[in-house]
Amino acid sequence: MILVRSLLFTTLFFLTVIPYAIAVATTGLFSKSLPFLTARAWARTNLWLAKVLCDIDYELEGRENIPDTNGILYVKHQSAYEILVGANEFPHQCWVLKRELMWVPFLGWGLKFLHPIAINRSSGGRAVRQVVRQGRDRIRDGLWIVIYPEGTRVAPGKTRRYGRSGPALAKDCGCLILPVAHNAGDYWPRRSWRKYPGTVKVVIGPVIDPAGRSPEEINQLAQSWVEGTMRRISPEAYGVDPVSEDALGQA
């Protein structure tokens, strides 16, 4: 039954891209704010479908940490679910993403009007400079910029070296970095058709001020908080005994 419901959800997930992408592109012809609001409606539609068909829901912790000024969202990347949650919970935003997504019919047409920073992930320093250059304009326009610092989806219990573009942009603009951890990969695994019922825990961390810190220090702070939080909310994936962790936290 899980597989059947998962297949139905995944089919609808991809089918909804078509009408919403057309709507995003259409509204983008005469409005700056409506395209994102339309994309948010798509996210909410699929969050509802995930809840109804796959019994996946989420709970949010740390909402009070969201600052009044826009900045950079540093989000753990495990599945597509965190993209939906981010679009639903955070203000007007754009994403740093691989440029190949812009070539996908319908999806790419809609993305164009959401002003992403589409990079060639293999171009190294050139991609970092592109994120800083275009990100500076997005920050100035009041957008939040979503960066997946590990550069790709990672399986639960795993991590990768954080990229340089986040700290470089933060220091260039003087904007804050807001780290976000979640365990969506426990219920929506990457490269799998199966979706498992449960409540995804999404945790928003304290802001990281780039002032007086090197890019290496910024990434170390972010990764330390994210991975430490991941051990708490996804203990099985990290091989952690939750009882021991709770006892340690109370000591």
Residue with structure tokens 């426990």? 186
Q: What are the domain boundaries of the chain? A: 2-250
What's the CA gap between 124 and 83, in Å, rounded? 24
User: What secondary structure, in 3-state letters, does 190-222 show?
Assistant: CCCCCCCCEEEEEEECCCECCCCCCHHHHHHHH
Residue with structure tokens 């479908």? 49
Q: Among the residues of the chain, which ranges form H helices?
A: 2-27, 34-54, 81-89, 107-112, 125-140, 165-173, 215-233, 242-250
What's the CA gap between 66 and 88, in Å, rounded? 14
What does DSSP assign to residue 163? P
Q: Which residues contact 21 (CB under 8 A, 6 or more apart)?
A: 106, 107, 109, 110, 111
Q: 131, 96 in Cβ contact below 8 A?
A: yes
What's the CA gap between 88 and 221, in Å, rounded? 26
At 249, is the pLDDT very low, low, confident or very high (cuts 50, 70, 90)?
A: very low
Model pTM? 0.92
pLDDT digits (tens, 9 = 90+) for 160-213: 999 999 999 999 999 999 999 999 999 999 888 899 999 999 999 999 999 999
What's the CA gap between 26 and 216, in Å, rounded? 42
- Helix (H) or strand (E) segment spanning residue 96: strand 93-98
Tokens representing 222 are 């972010």
At 219, is the pLDDT very low, low, confident or very high (cuts 50, 70, 90)?
A: very high
Q: 244, 197 in Cβ contact below 8 A?
A: no
What's the CA gap between 63 and 55, in Å, rounded? 23
Q: In this structure, which topology does domain 2-250 adopt according to CATH?
A: Glycerol-3-phosphate (1)-acyltransferase (3.40.1130)
pLDDT digits (tens, 9 = 90+) for 107-166: 999 999 999 999 998 888 899 999 999 999 999 999 999 999 999 999 999 999 999 999
> Which 3 state secondary structure label does DSSP give 58?
strand
pLDDT digits (tens, 9 = 90+) for 71-81: 999 999 999 99
Q: 213, 235 in Cβ contact below 8 A?
A: no
